[in-house]
A and B are shown apart, each in its own frame.
Chain A
Amino acid sequence: MFYGGIDVGSLTAQAVVLKDNSIYSFQSIPVKPNPVDSAAAVIEGALRDKGLTLKDLSFCVSTGYGREQIQKEGLAGENMSEISCHGKGAWWILPRVRTVIDIGGQDAKVIRVDQDGELVNFVMNDKCAAGTGRFLDVMSKTLGVTVEEIGPLSFSARQVIEMSSRCSIFCETEVHHYLQRGAGLADLAAGINRTMAGRVMALVRRVGIEKEVTMTGGVAKNPAVRRELEKAMGLKMLTYNVDSQLVGALGAALIARRLEEVKS
């Protein structure tokens, strides 16, 4: 039996195909203008890799942008919030996890789950770019480095130049001023990553921490933000060997399997 999960984000779309109790296939693509097109391309791609088609899926769940439309177009049998999917996916990989920090391209969420991976509570910021992947995106461009480089870059910092504002636009201006005065890229990168973590910590504090803690989403790949968050929380976060951007799609596929089991 095969189960599918589709997660369309602001920048990338992911699909996971489950077989029995393991990840059988997965794919990640940059988004297309329309979320339904992204969903179709990514799930069909993940299936094609294993010589499968949509018809081979017993059940499929969509999440993320346009999840309802994706269901309406028949690509998924049900749709679920990203919050439930990220909680479920992270818990399946790491059953001891109770707090999931999920930072995507345009939002940040802190999700609390119970021993069964069910949602207990969450907080979310999707109103302001600060504390989301977009903040790192804007800041990397300002520094003239890629978003993949800004994390490792800060490890060679000699000092941490923290930003005085949280607003991405104001930080951009601030970084320009520092650059004009000859500040080091690494020192600024370190400050940017710390400022980013500070904004995420405001969300973490609102929902509270229960151990164990892990991160999902694209920003989980930034080691400097991870380290700043660990310092601020006073704990080590759990790591895992699944791409952190796949966790939402994985959770969707797990929910698809459960829904199908309940039905039969």
Chain B
Amino acid sequence: MITLGLDVGSLFTKAVLLDDDRLLATAIRETSGTIAMEVGALIDLALERGGVTRSDVGTITSTGQGDELVEQADFLEDDVACIAAATRHYLPDTELTLEIGGQSITGVLSSPGGDVTNYMRNDKCASGTGRFIEVISAALGVAMEQFDETVTRAAKKVTVSTQCAVFAESEIISHLNQGEAVPDIIAGVCESTARIIISQALRFGPVSHYTVTGGVALFSSITGILEVKLPGIYRPFPIDPRFAAAFGAALLGQQE
């Protein structure tokens, strides 16, 4: 059966089209204030890329913090269940999924059978989330896409002592004023972001395998630090990690 999963996140809305468990197409756009009206175009884009039409689609399942804004959806699924489903499908023996989105860090712990046994979410604070990186990126005038490349030119890591995005922004500006190099500051920011994520992950206790999903997983300058410092084996998510929850939603839509 062909199913569509939609994940309406705080910064981006993602669509994943599946044929049974085969990935047909993905599409992504920024979540605007009028996303409810724009989600139709995103669905059409995914269908076009997958070479199918609306009538071919068995179910549409939506998830994420704006899941209720999708009036085309047949089902709503909790994002924790979607993330767990995506990990169970691609990385079946991975206990912990760290989903790091635009405005939250969600840790999902699964049993070997793939059932969710625990989860924790920090959505109270921008610290360690995509927004944190966005704020720093604006303060430094370096695009987020440039972070990984910029870090390769770092000679050292400038310590960023505060976790608060607002205070970190001021701290970084004072580092710049003191003549610290941009690559060294970005290396420090990646270290600090990784440290925040690690402290969330450690609340679950030791795990044998973990993966990272969500937009922040695209930064190898951050996942590289996790790989070294977070106990357990890091499994890179095999598809674009931003689509994990939407993939899970489409997968759960298969069972409806």
Complex: how many Å from CA A180 to CA B34? 10
User: Is B242 positioned at the interface, with any CB of A under 8 Å from its CB?
Assistant: no
Partner of A170 from B103, B163, B167, B170 at Cβ < 8 Å: B103
One of B43-51, B107-115, B123-131, B198-206 contacting the partner: B123-131
User: Is B139 positioned at the interface, with any CB of A under 8 Å from its CB?
Assistant: no
User: Is B33 positioned at the interface, with any CB of A under 8 Å from its CB?
Assistant: yes
- From 120 to 162 in chain A, residues with beta carbon under 8 angstroms from any chain B beta carbon are 127-129, 134-135, 138
Asked if residues B131 and A127 are in contact (CB atoms below 8 Å), the reply is: no
User: Is B135 positioned at the interface, with any CB of A under 8 Å from its CB?
Assistant: yes
Q: Chain A nearest CB: distance from B213 CB in Å? A: 21
Interface size classification for chain B: 10 to 19
Asked if residues A177 and B164 are in contact (CB atoms below 8 Å), the reply is: no
Asked if residues B126 and A167 are in contact (CB atoms below 8 Å), the reply is: yes
Complex: how many Å from CA A134 to CA B169? 12
What residues of chain B lie closer than 8 Å to A135, measured between beta carbons? Answer: 166
Asked if residues A134 and B167 are in contact (CB atoms below 8 Å), the reply is: yes
Minimum CB distance partner of A125 in chain B? B164
Mask, B157-173, CB within 8 Å of A = 1, is 00000111111001000
Mask, A218-232, CB within 8 Å of B = 1, is 000000000000000
User: Is B177 positioned at the interface, with any CB of A under 8 Å from its CB?
Assistant: yes
Q: Chain A nearest CB: distance from B173 CB in Å? A: 11
Asked if residues A169 and B165 are in contact (CB atoms below 8 Å), the reply is: yes
Partner of A128 from B103, B123, B125 at Cβ < 8 Å: B125
User: Is A168 positioned at the interface, with any CB of B under 8 Å from its CB?
Assistant: yes
What residues of chain B lie closer than 8 Å to A106, measured between beta carbons? Answer: 167, 170
User: Is A19 positioned at the interface, with any CB of B under 8 Å from its CB?
Assistant: no
Asked if residues A170 and B33 are in contact (CB atoms below 8 Å), the reply is: no
Complex: how many Å from CA A33 to CA B173? 11
Mask, B6-49, CB within 8 Å of A = 1, is 00001000000000000000000000010000000000000000
Complex: how many Å from CA A170 to CA B122? 13
Partner of B126 from A127, A134, A170, A181 at Cβ < 8 Å: A170
Asked if residues A33 and B177 are in contact (CB atoms below 8 Å), the reply is: yes
User: Is A239 positioned at the interface, with any CB of B under 8 Å from its CB?
Assistant: no
Q: Chain B nearest CB: distance from A202 CB in Å? A: 12
- From 5 to 35 in chain A, residues with beta carbon under 8 angstroms from any chain B beta carbon are 33
Known pairs A169-B135, A170-B131, A181-B33; A129 contacts B167 (CB<8 A): yes
What residues of chain B lie closer than 8 Å to A128, measured between beta carbons? Answer: 125, 164, 167
Count chain A CB atoms within 10 A of each CB in B131, B164, B174 and give the residue with the most: B164
* Chain B interface residues (CB < 8 Å from chain A): 10, 33, 103, 123-126, 131-132, 135, 162-167, 170, 174, 177
* Chain A interface residues (CB < 8 Å from chain B): 33, 106, 127-129, 134-135, 138, 165-170, 173, 177, 180-181
